Structures are given as structure tokens and as C-alpha cells.
Structure 1
Amino acid sequence: MRSLTIGNPRRMALHRRLVLTAALAAPTLARAEPAQAPRPATPLPAPLAEAARALPARRLPVPDTVSPALQRLIAGPYPPGWNAIPADAAGWRALQAVSAAAVEPHLPALRAALRVQVERSRIGGVPVFTVTPETLPPENRDRLLLHLHGGGYVLFPGESGAGEAMLMAAHGGFRCISVDYRMPPDHPFPAALEDTLAVWRTLCAQHDPRRMAIFGSSAGGGLTLATVLRARGERLPLPAAIAPGTPWVDLLGAGDTRQANAYVDNVLVADTGWVSGAARLYAAGRDPAEPLLSPINGDFAGFPPAILTSGTRDLLLSDTVRTHRKLRRAGVAAELQVFEGQSHAQFITPGVPETAEAFEEIGRFLAQHLL
């Protein structure tokens, strides 16, 4: 498969900012409350709590074991506003608008560079974007991928959320349908899940589910797993395979790398940032440990084959690893690819060689399991 090349450094830099088109982001918001800590985990017994490891202060070098393009991403500063949590619903709406405005002006160039066509429509009453590669391989003409975008369940409305689907279409050679699901603050849980199920139910009536897969990263990865849980509960057909990228599966923030990679990840940075506010906003008073909110607490028995993707500096690496191990313990065929040096969802960056590698790997996995 080809990798994306963008002509000049300025355009390349702009396109790199689209890494969060389908994943969590950290845009700036002028008016915001100080960052609040997420709900604390159950305290450890005293002997274990005292065993917490004290680390010396150090500078973390950029690894020379990745491509020059990825080195520039790794060397980047923390996103401005990563720890700004909106004070009210109006603030979240403003943040949502900022996320779309940061992406939308660059979409025409991205579509052209990736050689994909994007069509807006509705499926099951839900707005969607159908992304089709310029050249659709014959073996994929009857196959279809359902894409669920990231953004903490609150960012990237409209086509601004379809960037990951464009990358998958271009590098994987699949037709993808990206769901523009409803989001907080106006539509908290379970609105996103209901919209996704409405689209999946309609697609199953029109297509052979053995020829379909579901994928998405970050919140989209968590929603992918929640969709399978809900579909299984409603006795709907399940997809032939799934590809949750760095899935946000634990709204309570458990997992080793939520601490070990704090301030190492230069995308999400730390759980004390805006992502903790997004978790509370999405749950809207529900217990965040519920499996449809935090799929890591669900039963993965009978799940379709899965491929998961993360990076060594990803704050959600533990979410990804824990999900992979739980799928394996449930007898599910599951693969895990972890990219050197990458922070949260940086495998979704146009113009970086590792991006083509990631989506080609995912595409090969899905092709093996789709009829």
C-alpha cells in the first residue's frame, strides 16, 4: 500500500494536526476551571501504598528508533489547553466548535492527498459519512467497515470526525462509514451508543455482517467494544472483526500507564486534564464502571477477532493491554500492535510512515476475518 506524502513542511505540519481528527484532542479554551482529578481509585493496603516507586527527575529524549516524521511529533510540546476543563455546557459546546474549526479547513487537502471520496447521508436516521477509496480492490467491493470516531465522546462533530475513516479507506482499501453520533453536553450516554446501534442494525439488514467490521480509536475504540456488548445483548449479528485503537475502556482511570505515562504522553498528557471532565460529562451521573461506559468491565466471551493498536508513550497503553489480555482470556483471537515512542493515537497522523504501517496491518487483519 502507498503511504501519504504531503508536499511542503507547512502543509505537512497542518496535516499532522489532524492526528486527533478521530481521536481525543486537547484544544484550547479560554475560559475554563482548573483541572480536576478523576474519581480516585480504591486505596491500596498500607504496605502496598508505601511501596510506590519514587522516580528521579529526568529529561526524556526523543528516540532515534522511529521515522524522522514521528520524531518531530514525539518532540512536540504539550497541547495548549490540555488541562482546561470547561466550566459549563456552554464551555463544552465552545470546545466542540473549536475542535471542528481546527480540522475542517484542512479536509479538502486531506481527501485529495489520500485519494478518497466522502459522501454525507443518513443511515437508520443517523448522519454518516461514507468514505470510498479512489481504487477499491475487487476483494473488498462487498466488504464494509463501520467507523466510530474519537474525541472524548464530545469533540469532532460532522466531517471533522471522519479523518480516521479516510486513512483506513486509503491505506486499507475499504469502503468506510463514519458515524456522526450525538454527543454531550446536549446528548450524553447512551446517545452515542444508541446512534451506533441504529446504524449497525440498518447495515445488518442490508449487508452480510460476515463482510463487515467495526473500528475506531480512543473514545471510538471504547464505543466499538460497547457496541459489540450491546449488540450481543440484543441478539443482533456481530461484526466479523473489530479494530479498537488505544480504546478508552476505563472511565475511572485505572491501569498502570495512566500513572506511568502521565506527562510522558504529549497528547493527553495526564488524567488530570480535560479528559477527566469529558468522562464525567459523558457518564452524566451514571456509574462510570458500568460495562457500556467502561467496557473493560464487560464480558468479552464470544467477541469477534480483534486487533488493538497503541504506543509505548500512550497514556491509554494499559487500557489497550488490559483489553487485549481480557479478550485472550475469553478465548478471542486478538492481536496487539504497539508503536515505538508514540503517544495517544499518534498512529492516526497523516504523512508519517508509521501511520501507513498501522493501517495496512489493521487492513490485513480485517481482510483475514471478513468473508
Structure 2
Amino acid sequence: MQRQRPRLAAIDPDNALALMTVTGGRTVYEQRGIQGRMNTLRKITIYGAATLATVPVFAQANTAPLAPRQIPAITLPVPTDVSPGMQTIIGAPLNPAWNILWKTGEEWRAAADKQAAQTVANLPAMRERMHVKVEAARIAGVKVYIETPDVIPPEHKDKVLIQVHGGCYVLFPGESGTSEAIMMAGFGHYKVIAVDYRMPPEAYFPAALDDAMKVYAEVLKTMKPENLGVLGTSAGGALVLEMMLRAKQLGLPMPGAIAPSTPMSDVTKVGDSFYTNERVDNVLVSRDGFCDAATKVYAQGHDLKDPLLSPVYGDMNGFPPTILTTGTRDLLLSNTVRVHRKLRKAGVEAELEIYEGQSHAQFSRDDRLPETKEAFGEIAAFFDKHLGR
């Protein structure tokens, strides 16, 4: 028998539709009269073509890749529901250095040193606003900066945070990598140890992770692991996750909680937002931009899918409670979301904070903005909830 296209019966709005079922080519329409008004509504279930139409789609997905969707050019307005200062940041033009693709550690160090000088010049004023003091030191032979708030509440006296800075594994050397630690100390009232890990051309993969782990292991000698938190953003966020993977390998205890913000969790460029937020993110701009080039210099030919470079591919079972932060325009939005889903599937308590309109790491751009205070307040509250438990 030839199958006919299913038909949907017309519905008279003055009568109640009790049940309409479309099966193959037959339509069964049960109508129940209602005196003056509809008082019974039953579910409408449609079988047949609506379900069968999906079969060829699944069959095609198994045999050939689907064609990419073409998106016409769009105009992005600046959000009106963020602070004026954040509007300025969101509305800024694309990072003019996004497509500088240096290929050597020496070239990246020259750029990093120039940028660092500008950053360090602004740090004293930030520390004054945040009521934080800094001390340069060494822990297990690794250079660190200890950021201590003027006021540490009693419940934080035995707690410490370790911060690993971002910068695509090549930027923010020395004190220039401490701004996140300053804000965390100021907003959260925790003592924060900022790790000044080695970078190209001095050292390459896995030097950043090695240095961070030296500090982590040494700090654990003098305090309970549940009183320790670890945070970082971008490459620093990836390093936080990599540290947890390495700690598992070494049999070291997990900290009380971690905060890997907008982590570079997959440097193989897998993830939807690498495409949807291309040239929407005004910081990283493109999956083929400077951060991709810098990471390849750091990796020195190592497999980019190694979980110690792309931690989203690692085993996250047993990770500590985690808070992740990103923005709707962040090129690494998918990197962050994928980590969150992987943690949840592993049974790990994980929170995901996504901020309106923000590109990569813009929640930490300016300590004077309400969005910055809000983001660091959320992270601090998460540490408050979990450290020492």
C-alpha cells in the first residue's frame, strides 16, 4: 500500500480539541462540544511524517559531514545593560595585535617585556585601591609575588590561594602577571601567591606547569590541602586544570576548590565559539590569532591534544569543586562550557558564570568596574563556601 502524506485536520476554535492523532495516511479527529467555552484540552501527538522525516538526517550524519552554515554579516550593538565602563571595553575595536604571529620565543619575549613595563606602571595604584601589599619571594626555587590584603578576616587566616597568570604561555612575565592576584586579594581578602613561572625563550613546555607544581607541592607541606585554593585565567585557567591532572599523576591531594576562568582548555581549536565568536571577541579575535601562534611556540612541536596542554581531554574525576567564568562574546566560551560539562559528568561540583557581552577575560580588565567586583565576588564566595570543608 502506498503511504500517503499525513494530514492535519483543521481545528474549530469554538470547540475543544480533545485528541488529534495522525497515523500514516489516516486522521482521527475527536471533537467534544463545549457549551460556550473550551474546558478540556488534551495532548496533541503527531506520529508518522514528523518522526520519519528525521531518519534520513541521522543516516546522512553517519556517512558524510554536514555542510557548515553560512551566516550573513551582522552588526553588533554594545549592550545597554552593563556599566558605562564595561560598555567602553566591549565597544572597543578589535585588538590591533591579534594577527601578530611571531614564531620564536625571543620575539615573544621582546613583546612581553614591552607590554610588562606598561602593566607594571599601573600596579601600585591598583594595590592602593585594593588595599593590598606585595612581597617578592621564592618558593621551591620559583619566583613568586605574595599579595596580602590589609585586612584578612579570622576565617581566612589559615587559607591561601595560588594564582597562575595568563598570557598564552608567553606574556605577563614578572610582576606584570599579578593583577588577577591583586584583585583576588583585594576583593576576596585572601593571601594570594602569584607564580612567576618560566616562559619562552627561557623555557618551554612543560616549564609553566612544572613551576606551578613546585609551588603547589611546597605550599602543601605547611598547610592542609582543603585550606588551599588555586585560580588562573586564560592560559592560567588551563594551568589550573593541568595542575589538577598532574597532582593526580603524582598522588598529591586536591585543593579545597579551584577557579579556572575562561581556560585555554583545548588548543586544537575544537569548539563552537571558535567560530561563532570569531571577530566578535575583540581581545583574542580569531582562533588563528596571536594566542594560537604563541601556544605553538611554547609547545615546541608537542602534541597539542596532550591533556597537559589541552586539559579538556584529561580525566577530571576526583577534581575539587570548581567555578568557571567567561563571557557571551568570549572566543573561549566553548572551552569553558566544555570543561563545565565534563566536570558535571564526572560528578564534580561546578559552577559556570557567564557575563553579558564580555569578550575574553574582560571581567578582570579594570578593578574599578562593578562587573569586576561582581565576578571576583562570586569567585571569593565560592572559595569561602568550599575552603576548609
* Structure-1 separation of matches of 2:334 and 2:63: 24
Q: Does 1:162 align with 2:178?
A: yes
Q: 1:345 matched to which residue of 2?
A: 361
* Structure-2 separation of matches of 1:88 and 1:300: 33
* Structure-2 separation of matches of 1:125 and 1:90: 24
Say how many residue pairs are matched: 327
Give per-residue Cα distances to partners, 1:93-127, cap 9 Å, x unaligned.
21111221220111111111111001000001100
Q: 1:175 matched to which residue of 2?
A: 191
Q: 1:65 to 1:47 in 2, by over 3 A?
A: farther
* Structure-2 separation of matches of 1:299 and 1:172: 30
Q: Does 1:106 align with 2:127?
A: no
* Structure-1 separation of matches of 2:197 and 2:62: 42
Q: 1:140 to 1:97 in 2, by over 3 A?
A: same
Give per-residue Cα distances to partners, 1:16-57, cap 9 Å, x unaligned.
xxxxxxxxxxxxxxxxxxxxxxxxxxxx9885342x111111
Q: 1:319 matched to which residue of 2?
A: 335
* Structure-1 separation of matches of 2:83 and 2:120: 27
Tell me: higher relative CO, structure 1 or 2? Use CA pairs within 8 A at least 6 residues apart. Answer: 1
Q: 1:124 matched to which residue of 2?
A: 140
Give per-residue Cα distances to partners, 1:128-174, cap 9 Å, x unaligned.
00001111111111100000000001101111000000000111111
* Structure-1 separation of matches of 2:346 and 2:318: 8
Q: 1:367 matched to which residue of 2?
A: 384
Q: Does 1:74 align with 2:77?
A: no
CA contact (8 A) 2:105 2:297 kept: no
Q: Does 1:262 align with 2:278?
A: yes
AA of the residue aligned to 2:369: V
CA contact (8 A) 1:79 1:266 kept: yes
Give per-residue Cα distances to partners, 1:302-339, cap 9 Å, x unaligned.
00000000000000000000000000000000000000
Equivalent residues in 2 for 1:54-65 (5 A)? Answer: 54-65=70-81
Q: What TM-score results when the alignment is normalised by the length of structure 1?
A: 0.86
1:87 Cα deviation after fit: 4.0
SS of the residue aligned with 2:287?
Answer: coil
Which of 235, 250, 260 is the equivalent residue of 1:234? 250
Q: 2:371 matched to which residue of 1?
A: 354
Q: Does 1:277 align with 2:293?
A: yes
* Structure-2 separation of matches of 1:263 and 1:105: 30
Q: 1:87 to 1:190 in 2, by over 3 A?
A: closer
Q: 1:16 matched to which residue of 2?
A: none
Q: 1:45 to 1:93 in 2, by over 3 A?
A: farther
Which of 140, 153, 157 is the equivalent residue of 1:137? 153
**What percent identity do the matched residue pairs reach?**
50
Q: Does 1:48 align with 2:65?
A: yes
* Structure-2 separation of matches of 1:279 and 1:153: 6
CA contact (8 A) 1:185 1:281 kept: no
Q: What TM-score results when the alignment is normalised by the length of structure 2?
A: 0.82
**Based on CA coordinates, which of the two structures has the bigger radius of gyration?**
2
SS of the residue aligned with 1:237?
Answer: coil
* Alpha-carbon RMSD: 1.2
CA contact (8 A) 2:344 2:350 kept: yes
Give per-residue Cα distances to partners, 1:336-355, cap 9 Å, x unaligned.
00000000000102211110
Q: Which runs of 4+ in 1 moved over 6 A?
A: none
Q: 1:92 matched to which residue of 2?
A: 108
Equivalent residues in 2 for 1:280-295 (5 A)? Answer: 280-295=296-311
SS of the residue aligned with 2:65?
Answer: helix
Q: 1:344 to 1:88 in 2, by over 3 A?
A: same
